[in-house]
Structure 1
Amino acid sequence: AKHGRFDLTVKAVGDIEIDYHHTVEDTGIALGRAFHEALGEKRGIFRYGSGHFPMDETLVRVALDVSGRPFLDYRGPEGVPHVGEKFNFTLVEEFLRAFAFHALVNLHVEILYGRDPHHMAEAVFKGLARSLDAATQIDPRIADDIPSTKNVL
């Protein structure tokens, strides 16, 4: 929320004593739905957001389109160990998929390089936040229009 400039508080409760999978996925679903609802008809938004996001030795590329057509292309290293002691790194992709498909966002995330699992995850989420911020800003040139030739997103 901080890096996307979104006024948002999340309280998630789940079965984390077993594992984080369901809680992470459900959080992605809930946030995705909230973003989709908050954007309404998407009048006047820039629609696209992207960039390269560093975190120490890590570099991540994020590109997204608030198109109404959900998709996730995630590219990251295989076999990355846990972030901390319990958070399996594969949950980063699970969150992104749940978010993208419920926000109805076309999302591409690529971890270009990195070594520290914490830095890779942090760069992904900060990149997602900044890209969402850019895509959802109002473009004053089209403030009342829907940014689509079909006039619907």
Structure 2
Amino acid sequence: MRSAAIKRKTKETDIEVSVNLDGTGVVEIATGIGFFDHMLDLLARHSRIDMTVKAVGDLHIDFHHTTEDVGIALGQAVKQALGDMAGITRYASIHMPMDETLTRVVIDVSGRPMLVFRTAFSRDKIGEFDTELVREWFNAFAMNAGITLHVETLYGENAHHIAESCFKGLARALRAALAIDPRNKGEVPSTKGQLGG
């Protein structure tokens, strides 16, 4: 079973996450940030990754530390669960619609972290959640999961729809890229024989 659990505690946050990459999307999320919980719920359900996230953070200051640190911990958990990445499909490309919005998400589970994020929001906040934190979360996740991730919103107006299309797009891209390809016969999908360097 490709699963992992991570605990991360700093002066700003106390976070516990677990993932099962071969799950069915069973999810338990509690970060204290309603909109963020909603996005993580979408991520788990549409990727079919079983996911638990429990976070206590300095929300009296703002949502930045909690959002970023959850991205770090989830990225670390995915990377640990992948192990040597033998047999994975590795690449995926998704166009994710959400009403008037369309976002393209392209992923390479390469072991070489990179984020290209070309998404603009129509307003600064969704409820109490700062829209700039969407990019912060994606960056933290990509860097710590060791994946190359391109997220580009081709068009859209509603800020909630834009964020949702990004998270759902990532979910479906992860679902495809992390899947075991039986034709790979347990081999690492790289001519170098390894990923990450």
TM-score category by the smaller chain?
Answer: over 0.9
The 5 A counterparts of 1:4-153 are 4-77=47-120, 80-84=123-127, 86-153=128-195
Distance 2:95 2:148 in 1: 17
Q: String of CA shifts for 1:121-148, please: whole Å, max 9, x gaps.
A: 1110010011001000011101310000
Q: String of CA shifts for 1:77-100, please: whole Å, max 9, x gaps.
A: 26632111x111010000000000
Runs of 4+ in structure 1 off by over 6 angstroms are: none
1:149 alignment partner, SS class: coil
1:51 alignment partner, SS class: strand
Query: Does structure 1 retain, via aligned residues, the 8 Å contact 2:107–2:150?
Result: yes
Aligned length: 152
Q: Between Structure 1 and Structure 2, which shows a larger proportion of strand residues?
A: 2
Q: Which runs of 5+ in 1 are unaligned?
A: none
Distance 1:143 1:5 in 2: 22
**Normalising by structure 1, what TM-score?**
0.96
2:136 alignment partner, SS class: helix
Distance 2:79 2:132 in 1: 24
Out of 9-18 and 117-126, give the one that drifted further: 9-18
Q: Which runs of 5+ in 2 are unaligned?
A: 1-43
Identical positions, percent:
57
